[in-house]
Amino acid sequence: MGELVSLSDLEQKASAVRELLCAAVREHGRVVYSNSLGAEAVVLTDIIWTYAPEIDMFSIDTGRLHEETYELLEKLERRYRRTLRVVHPDALSLERLAASQGVNGFYHSLQARLSCCHVRKVEPFKRAIAGYGAWVTGVRREQSATRAQAEPVEWDGEYGLYKISPLLDWSEGEIWQYIRAHKLPYNTLHDRHYPSIGCSPCTRAIQPGESRRAGRWWWEQPESRECGLHPRVRHATAQA
């Protein structure tokens, strides 16, 4: 998890996140946060709902999430006395998907998996960010080689708005330090060796020594296992 920082350094990092988010609102007007309900999302939810409430927030319910993820969503709403907007896949597209590939067709081919991610994540995401000037994401540099090259504020040509990544320089250890220091609720699957949590049928616990994304789409080749909202391959479109 890397070296821990002092609490005052941690608060300085949190303060830099607040400043970046407030500057994004000043610069881009309507800003929206796509909340993945992972560990980074808990930190960003705390900062946004406490210090930058003008930033809208939504989460995509793919219909295949873990029960623990729904429990976290409710805990966050209770703690901050706010309602998290939940965006669902288009019902007709979902029916067509299940009719063409079956309910668990994503296991059978990369194309089928990408189609499922498109219907359940990418299309709802595009709908949810339409009309905004910028979207906020919780990606961190140490998560992948592609993310290592990211900038805190970038033009997102894929979706046609600015992308704000305030946690780029945070380590996994700092994320957890913040969660514990502020006694934030988090997805209890993290305590059972799920560092990265997506849909239930496509996420599993990792073994000691495995990479943090080894539990995502584990039956595929490593190079295709990226979420489509931060694509490593242009056609692979789905959310982390």
Least distance from ligand SF4 to the Cβ atom of residue 57, Å:
20
Judged by CB under 6 A, which stretch of 12-20, 110-118, 155-163, 177-185 contacts ligand SF4? 110-118
In this structure, what is the dihedral angle of CA atoms 214, 118, 68, 92, given to the nearest 10 degrees?
Answer: -150
Which of 13, 66, 120, 213 touches ligand SF4 by CB under 6 A?
Answer: 120
Sign of the CA dihedral running 27, 53, 18, 60: negative
69 and 240 Cβ atoms separated by less than 8 Å: no
Reported in sequence order, the residue ranges of the chain that DSSP labels E, i.e. its strands, are 31-34, 56-60, 85-87, 134-136, 153-156, 161-164
Q: Is 43 in the site for ligand SF4 (CB under 6 A)?
A: no
- C-alpha 55/C-alpha 51 separation (Å) is 10
Stretch in the footprint of ligand SF4 (CB under 6 A) among 34-42, 114-122, 141-149, 207-215: 114-122
Q: 159 near 237, Cβ under 8 Å? A: no
Alpha helices in 134-230 (DSSP H): 145-148, 172-181
Binding mask 146-185 toward ligand SF4 (x if CB under 6 A, else -) reads ----------------------------------------
Select from 13, 66, 121, 190 the one that contacts ligand SF4 (CB under 6 A): 121
Q: Closest Cα partner for 36 from 209, 187, 193, 192?
A: 187
CA pair distance 51, 11, nearest whole angstrom: 13
Q: Which two tokens stand for residue 72?
A: 């976290």
Q: 223: buried, middle or exposed (CB in 10 Å: 19+, 13-18, 0-12)? A: exposed
Any contact of residue 62 with ligand SF4 (CB under 6 A)?
A: yes
Q: Which of 20, 117, 134, 179 binds ligand SF4 (CB under 6 A)?
A: 117
Q: By CB under 6 A, is residue 230 in contact with ligand SF4?
A: no
Q: What is the CA angle 226-228-229, rounded to 5?
A: 115
| Between 24 and 97, CB nearer to ligand SF4 | 97
Q: Is 227 a catalytic residue?
A: yes
Q: Pick the stretch among 2-10, 138-146, 150-158, 196-204 that binds ligand SF4 (CB under 6 A).
A: 196-204
Of 49, 58, 106, 170, the residue at the interface with ligand SF4 (CB under 6 A) is 106
Tell which one of 13, 66, 113, 163 touches ligand SF4 (CB under 6 A): 113
- Mask for 64-83, x = binds ligand SF4 (CB under 6 A): x-------------------
Active-site residue numbers?
227
Tell me which residues touch ligand SF4 (CB under 6 A).
Answer: 62, 64, 106, 113, 116-117, 120-121, 198-199, 201-202, 238
